[in-house]
Structure 1
Amino acid sequence: MPEGHSVHRIARQFAVNVVGRRVAASSPQGRFAEGAALLDGRFATRVRAVGKQMFLEFDDAVWLRVHLGMYGAWDFAGQISVDATIASANGRMGQTNQRGTDEQILDAAGENSLTSIGAPRRSRVRMSEQTTGLAGEDEWPPPVVGQVRLRLLTDVTCADLRGPTACEVLSADEVAQVIAKLGPDPLVDDVHEGEERFVAAVRRKPTPIGLLLMDQSIVSGIGNVYRAELLFRARLDPHTPGRDVPEETVREIWRDWVRLLRVGVETGQMMTMDDLDPEAYRLALANRDDRHWVYHRTGLPCRRCGTSVVLEEMGARKLYWCPGCQT
């Protein structure tokens, strides 16, 4: 499932390439025809990401809400400029100047791709090496491929939405109601106020911390990967009731989430291992198996203590954890 870092990257890409432009909206698949008709011909005026949801505002306070869910993704084509806040000095998406890494490094699934953000998939669009360039210039607009729920088209940029859990047109009041139900997001809310909300919510719950971290009303943006990694980094048993987790540990989980989310937005990848030398960091950017402590490592020895990493189901999702380090 696309987690919070992906949605923030998508919103920033919309801010640079779509906001401030008139948009032609359509639903090639047909499942969002009425909603697309309400958006068609409007100017995009603002975009917000909160946790795993994106909200794109159009004129007359008409909003598009998208929740990618398990399988959703946005595919981009055409002239695409990179948001400077998630690009390195020479400006290509997915680059980082950390630990001596100064060129674009993509993982095998294209997780930090400029052309497809969300559920990993092979992009259908050929991108040039320039920060801003026309992809798919042989045919414009680009042909529709597969089941496209919503296509948003400016004069030079195309954004195709596939497989979302939610795609709907809302009023400003309805957007406010949705956001009010969400837990704090470190990139949206005041970090210190968010910490206090998170600590208070966790510490009053008898629910296992492994479930609380996936509850979007408790904290926004954390999914299966970040849950496993945050709990490992905190050396915390996933089954511990929230109210029994020491307050300082809860605070450190929040602060760790703040750090990891920012890294994820910068690199486009859920990088959860620290203190890697430059070569190890490059490998981690390129290979998902090299960037996590416990996620997707069932039966393999823990990187810290050697105990076999276990897999169980919690909240109908796969949970990876180390019984040696986390009990």
Structure 2
Amino acid sequence: MPEGHTVHRLARRHQRLFRGHAVHVSSPQGRFAESAQLVDGQVFAGADAWGKHLVHRYRNGLMVHVHLGLYGRFDEQSQPMDPPVGAVRMRLESETVGVDLRGPTACEIYSPAQLEALVARLGPDPLRVDADPEKAWAAVGRSARPIGALMMDQKVMAGVGNVYRAEVLFRARINPFRSGTKITREEFDEIWADLVMLMPIGVRRNAIHVIRDEDDHGAPSYRTGRPRTYVYRRAGEPCRICGTEIAIAELEARKVYWCPQCQAV
């Protein structure tokens, strides 16, 4: 599933491509056809992201809410676009460019009230300037759940995914299984500040960068074309800092990675 930096990058890209243009919205697949008619021909007013949720805004007051989920993606083409191939849920076009949305978990018309209700359910997003970390700290400090699970809970922190969870906890030397009630305010502040610093880099570069310069010895990533990480997807390999074998386990149905030495309980 795309992490929050990917969705924010999409929002910025769509804003640059379509803002101020009357756009053609269709649903070649058919599942979004009736809703597409409500915004077809309208002026695209802008795009925003809250965590892993993308919202397209139109001047008629309606919005399109997209959650990519595990399989969703946008494919961009210049005009004239090729005929749709496969299950294209939504096609969005200006005179010069278009995007096809495939495989999202959600693609639906939203009203301002629905967006307000969605945002109210989400935790603060480290990529938004209006984020209030106090809301996340309140949720973490009173919970007995592991901090590794709390960071992935979108009601606690919006937009944080498995890579940032694993890497930020390693950078803070915090075991992912430590309960929220055992996290100090100073530790929480370090986690939040690291997310606020690292996630915008992901937006700008379209890639996750987490290894500090002093720890960067040119070791390869866990897979070609993927980010170079401290622990994520490196189970069984030596820790970049201490050489201990990186551990892996299940935490609330998701794989979690950590160094047993650097992140001792």
Q: Taking structure 2 as the reference length, what is the TM-score of the superposition?
A: 0.93
Q: Deviations over 1:248-268 (max 9, x none)?
A: 001100000001111111111
Match of 2:250 among 313, 317, 321: 313
Count of equivalent residues: 263
Shift of 1:42: 1.1
- Tell me the equivalent position of 2:103: 163
More moved, 286-295 vs 69-78:
286-295
1:227 pairs with 165, 171, 182, which one? 165
Identity value in percent: 45
What does residue 16 of structure 2 align with?
16
State yes or no: 1:275 paired with 2:206: no
Residue 45 of structure 2 is aligned to residue 42 of structure 1: no
Whole-Å separation in 2 of the counterparts to 1:58 and 1:153: 14
1:76 to partner: Cα distance: 0.8
Quote the residue 1:255 is aligned against.
193
Spell out structure 1 runs of 4+ moving beyond 3 A: 276-281, 286-290
| Separation in structure 2 between the aligned mates of residue 320 and residue 251 of structure 1, nearest angstrom | 22
Q: Which has the higher contact order (CA 8 A, sep 6+)?
A: 1
- What SS does the aligned partner of 2:187 have? helix
Deviation string for 1:55-75 (max 9, x for gaps)? 111122100000111111111
Q: Partner amino acid for 1:43?
A: V
Give the drift of 1:289. 5.5
Question: What root-mean-square deviation, in Å, do the aligned CA atoms of Structure 1 and Structure 2 show?
Answer: 2.0
Change (3 A) 1:64 1:310: same
Task: Please tell me the residue identity of whatever aligns with 1:273.
Answer: I
Q: Distance in 2 between matches of 1:75 and 1:312?
A: 34
Alignment of structure 1 residues 1-327 onto 2, 5 Å: 1-78=1-78, 140-190=80-130, 194-275=132-213, 280=218, 287-288=224-225, 291-327=228-264
Who is 1:84 aligned against?
A: none
How many angstroms apart in 1 are the aligned matches of 2:206 and 2:226?
A: 15
Q: CA deviation at 1:143?
A: 2.0
Rounded to whole Å, the distance in 2 between the matches of 1:276 and 1:248 is 23
- CA apart distance, 1:51: 0.7
**Which piece of structure 1 moves more, 178-187 or 168-177?**
178-187
Superposition deviation, residue 288 in structure 1: 4.7
Equivalent pair of 1:313/1:319 in contact (CA under 8 Å): yes
Displacement of 1:205: 1.0
- TM-score (normalised: structure 1): 0.76
Unaligned runs of 5+ in 2: none
Report SS of the residue matched to 2:153: coil
SS in 1 for 2:213: coil
Letter in 2 for 1:163: G
